[in-house]
Amino acid sequence: MKKFLGIVVLGLLWCNIGFASKYLNAYTLDKKKIENKVIKTLSTKHSKLTKYKNWEGKLELYKVTKPNITFFSASTLEERSKKYPKKFSKNCFTNTLLDLQPTLEIKGHMWKPGGHFLTQVNYTAEYDQLMNQGLVNWLDAQNREPLELIKEKLLKWANEKSFSHLYPDTDRQAGEPWGYIDTFWNLRATLTNIIIAYATLSELEIFSKNEKKEVQNWLEYLVAASASQGQDDGSGHKLPTGIHTELQKAFIYTLWGVADGNDKYFQAGIKGFLLGLSVTRKDGSHKFEVRNVKDASKRNERGLEKMNQVVGYMVIIAEMAKLQGYNLYDIQTKKKVNLHKMIEFLSKGWSDKTIKLKYLVSKYADKKFAYRLSGNNNSIAWSIPYIFNNNFNNNSIPIITNWIESLPENKKNYINDFGFGGSQGCYYAASIDIN
């Protein structure tokens, strides 16, 4: 009996060791090799992209002109917070920063038996949110003490090589192994506001030279890991062009490109934006997210929500590109579709009966996102930078404005979406009165 128990215990220990070692270590990846693979995807020679209107004509012509600037300039934002303190206090909500200790693990939604992809769990989301909260505290307080606090966190996380152990999902979705797809999704979600914080501290010269290098080196490996999907992770998954997962990847490429002054990642992000446009129909709908099939049961119940994610990422990419001197909004496919057209379709989609009948599973399709101004890439918080930064005559503007105005008052007081770059209501507090 003792011998049997001993064998069982050893077996369990072996299983635990086997499971513990079953992860992708970001620091074992060849980041240069991955970046080269990203670069190889930039060719437009045999691509439909050459037929686009109103773009530079070659991806290589898109260069980072203002490193450390994401979709806002930290120095400009700091000046505004001091000039309009009441507006920032009204729209920026100060909270005590959580004392989050470093963690190595990034997991997918189904990493353990019983997990489910619809839960959309990001086990490290608090780290992303902490960075965002630090920036909000800085703007509300009108001093840099909160920035010093998040610098301490970044240095500690970098020193411990946080988020570098990537665990695949152990369960299956639709009978297929899901691998690292959602692991990478969670890694990119975790990185979003961390990179924005890194860029902010870099622009304001909060880092010393050595401190910046330490954080930069850490983030380089994590960004490279997030770019390795389907290449070095062994999953072999090839996802449809321009879907929300691919646009999240393009978003991180663009974000890291502008934060680090890396032209190649910036260009890869621009290409992701163009590919998002390439899979739209004449009416602005996304053919892989909003399915046009006669059998309503085969349509995507969450089609509009997923297209909202695509649009949200594309808007923030366009905002980042604008600050670098490039207009992505007016780039047009041969079907005469641009980002404005996609937004027009989306903003009509939640209420237009024709769209419901044509594309949605039923008139009762999940449209909760249409009533959210806060969330994690499932809200319409992207509409704030879109409305503020684009003063043009467009059909979607009054629709979006009415959309926001129709929301209950308690929904308007905090416009925040970590997936789309954090507290838009705070960042644009001096420019748009939403309360």
Longest C-alpha distance within the chain, in Å? 81
> What is the token pair recorded at 6?
């001993």
Distance CA 107, CA 120 (A): 11
State the amino acid at position 106 in one-letter form: I
**Strand locations in 59-156 (E):** 105-107
Query: So what's the pLDDT on residue 227?
Result: 86
Distance CA 106, CA 132 (A): 19
Enumerate the domain spans of the chain. Answer: 50-427
Helix/strand/coil percentages in the chain, nearest 5: 55, 5, 40
Distance CA 380, CA 387 (A): 11
CATH 1.50.10.100 is held by the domain 50-427: yes
Burial class (CB in 10 A: 0-12, 13-18, 19+), 113: exposed
Residues 146/138, Cβ–Cβ less than 8 Å: yes
Residues 87/429, Cβ–Cβ less than 8 Å: yes
DSSP code of 178? E
Query: So what's the pLDDT on residue 122?
Result: 67
Which residues 6+ apart lie within 8 Å of 161 measured at CB?
26, 27, 104, 218
Helix (H, G, I), strand (E, B) or coil at 171: strand
pTM: 0.88
> What is the token pair recorded at 399?
């629709």
Query: So what's the pLDDT on residue 12?
Result: 38
Burial class (CB in 10 A: 0-12, 13-18, 19+), 211: middle
Residue spans of alpha helices (H) in 279-382: 303-323, 339-349, 353-359
Distance CA 239, CA 173 (A): 14
Burial class (CB in 10 A: 0-12, 13-18, 19+), 210: exposed
Query: So what's the pLDDT on residue 400?
Result: 76
pLDDT tens for the chain, 435 residues long, are 545 444 443 343 333 333 444 888 999 988 888 887 777 666 665 466 778 899 998 899 999 999 999 999 999 999 999 999 999 988 888 889 988 989 999 987 766 655 555 555 666 889 999 999 999 999 999 899 999 999 999 999 999 999 999 988 776 655 566 678 888 989 999 999 999 999 999 999 999 999 999 999 999 999 999 887 654 444 555 678 889 989 999 999 999 999 999 999 999 999 999 999 999 999 899 988 887 665 555 566 678 888 999 999 999 999 999 999 999 999 999 889 999 999 988 887 766 656 655 665 555 555 677 777 778 888 888 988 998 887 566 777 777 777 777 666 655 556 789 999 999 989 988 776 554
DSSP code of 100? P
Query: So what's the pLDDT on residue 115?
Result: 55
Distance CA 418, CA 415 (A): 10
Query: So what's the pLDDT on residue 170?
Result: 73
Query: So what's the pLDDT on residue 372?
Result: 75
Residue spans of alpha helices (H) in 92-144: 125-141
Helix (H, G, I), strand (E, B) or coil at 313: helix
Beta bridge partners of 166: 24, 106
Give the 3-state secondary structure of 191-238. Answer: HHHHHHHHHHHHHCCCCCHHHHHHHHHHHHHHHHHHCCCCCCCCCCCC
Distance CA 189, CA 249 (A): 10
Burial class (CB in 10 A: 0-12, 13-18, 19+), 163: buried
